[in-house]
């Protein structure tokens, strides 16, 4: 058996195209473009690349991209004052403060200062609570993209046994909640789990988000399982995921590559969340295809 390779670039391009169509209708209805404000603090090279890519995708979808770059030594009050101004700006529908932040900044204070209805990253505690109890809010972009890929490949996820490896607030926890929402039976494993392999071998769906290169071995994977590899690890061999891809591709039914799998969907879902925010704020119908 050789797995189907899940082309995240193609799925992301299709989602961005659908969002672009929705944005055209939004502009026609309101006379303005949806606006995404991205705040970058400092000169972290990886963060700068992410911000640049997000800006390009925003503009390509017909939206307004607004960037605010602050020095690495900026104080917390200045950053919070900027967030307050963006919260109050009617032209801004989404606010994203690029993480990580310098050590003098309390990330939680910044995240919780963002208006939950403009929190297109989905990190605010209000949005985490909305997800947990099934109220419409914003879901973190990476797990949202993972679910979209799973549904595109598998169709209905109802009844599937799913294992999420990792319990971060950004990926692991919301991923488990989203899979529960799809009526999966969900197990979350983590650094204190006694035998990770036992749980993974029983799973129809494996989502690896642990940040350890090649952590998930091929002999852990149930034949025919769908594997979503969220890991992006820089090694001497280049970018690799959390799954032993060379081995897993021979036993799984479908698998995301690294790079080119989950990553492109993360940015596409950010654009999608910004469009949804704009529609909600203006009372415009959201395109059901998005």
Class (C level, CATH) for 31-117: alpha beta
CATH 3.40.50.880 fits 141-263, yes or no: no
Convert the pLDDT of each residue in 157-184 to its tens digit: 999 999 999 999 999 999 999 999 999 9
Measuring CA to CA, which residue among 98, 93, 50 is closest to residue 74?
Answer: 98
CB 181 within 8 A of CB 175: no
Average pLDDT of every residue of the chain:
96
**Model pLDDT, residue 170:** 95
- The 8-class DSSP code of residue 243 comes to B
* Residue 50 in tokens: 């992410």
Q: What does the pLDDT read at residue 2? A: 85
Residues 6+ apart with CB under 8 A from 251: 1, 3, 218, 219, 221, 223, 225
**Active-site option among 54, 118, 173, 222:** 54
What tokens were used for 277? 């925010």
Q: Do the domains spanning 31-117 and 141-263 agree at the CATH topology level? A: yes
Catalytic position from the list 98, 118, 204, 244:
98
Q: What angle do CA 39, 42, 48 make, to 5 degrees?
A: 65
- Catalytic residue of the set 121, 204, 229, 242: 121
Selection from 251, 189, 195 nearest residue 218 by Cα: 251
Tokens of residue 210, six digits: 């642990």
Domain residue ranges in the chain: 31-117, 141-263
Given a contact cutoff of 8 angstroms between Cβ atoms, the answer to whether 122 and 92 are in contact is no
Residue 45's pLDDT is what?
A: 81
98 catalytic per annotation? yes
pLDDT at 50: 85
Residues of the chain with confidence (pLDDT) below 50: none
């Amino acid at each position: 058996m050789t797995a189907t390779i899940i082309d995240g670039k193609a799925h992301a391009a299709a989602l961005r195209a659908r969002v672009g169509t929705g944005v055209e209708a939004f502009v026609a209805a309101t006379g303005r473009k949806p606006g995404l404000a991205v705040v970058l603090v400092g000169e972290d090279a990886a963060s700068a690349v992410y911000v640049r890519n997000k800006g390009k995708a925003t503009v390509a979808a017909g939206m307004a991209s607004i960037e605010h770059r602050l020095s690495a030594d900026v104080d917390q009050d200045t950053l919070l004052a900027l967030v307050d101004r963006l919260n109050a700006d009617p032209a801004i529908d989404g606010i994203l403060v690029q993480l990580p932040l310098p050590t003098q900044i309390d990330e939680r204070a910044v995240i919780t200062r963002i208006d939950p209805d403009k929190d297109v990253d989905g990190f605010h505690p209000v949005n985490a609570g909305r997800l947990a109890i099934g109220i419409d809010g914003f879901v973190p972009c990476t797990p949202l993209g993972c679910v979209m890929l799973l549904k595109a490949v598998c169709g209905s996820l109802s009844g599937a046994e799913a294992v999420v490896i990792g319990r971060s607030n950004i990926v692991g926890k919301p991923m488990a909640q989203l899979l529960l929402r799809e009526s999966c039976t969900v197990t979350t494993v983590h650094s204190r789990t006694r035998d990770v392999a036992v749980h993974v071998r029983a799973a129809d769906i494996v989502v690896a988000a642990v940040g350890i290169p090649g952590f998930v071995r091929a002999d852990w994977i149930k034949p025919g399982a769908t594997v979503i590899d969220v890991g992006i690890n820089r090694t001497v061999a280049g970018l690799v995921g959390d799954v032993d891809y060379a081995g897993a591709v021979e036993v799984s039914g479908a698998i995301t590559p690294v790079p080119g799998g989950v990553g492109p969907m993360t940015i596409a879902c950010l654009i999608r969340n910004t469009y949804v925010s704009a529609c909600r704020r203006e009372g415009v119908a959201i395109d059901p295809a998005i």
